[in-house]
Amino acid sequence: MGQRKEKTSYEFNHTPTTLLVALFGGACGFIAIESTIGDAMDAWGLQMKRVSSWQVHMGSTCVGVATFFIFLFILELMETKSKITAWRSSVPWLPLVLPTALATFVHVPFYIVIVICAGYAVWAYHRTCSVRRSPARSERRAI
């Protein structure tokens, strides 16, 4: 007979690495929009001339933040294998889409958006870390 494998009590949980990989995905989304928008402006001509350059760049930033959120949710889902835990640990980052979307339609200086998002990101990071280390989750595994 084969031997049974014992389940280890150690669970890999490295939130900074997960966030960095999600940040890389968001940066790829941002760069993809930034690199294709010039061709789109050339192709659509006068219709795209009505869009200001700050709207284009903030729209790219909004797409990058949304891509970051999607990547983070998928990575958390793959790591924790729980949709609820993945959602609870990634949803604090979702409100970052709002200031960038707002700044796409209303002219808000980029440095103000960065300060708002950076201040909020500190709270979201701590919230993500606390969800990943929640005692209720570890108690369920011990049972």
pLDDT of residue 22: 95
pLDDT average per 10 residues of sequence, the chain (143 residues)? 59 80 94 86 72 84 94 92 90 92 89 92 91 58 49
Buried b / exposed e over 115-135, threshold 16 CB at 10 Å, is ebbeebeeebeeebeebbeee
Q: Give the per-residue pLDDT at 138.
A: 46
pLDDT of residue 13: 67
Distances (CA, A) of 119 to 44, 87, 114, 116: 38, 21, 8, 5
Helix runs in the chain, H state only: 15-44, 46-49, 53-80, 83-90, 97-105, 110-132, 135-142
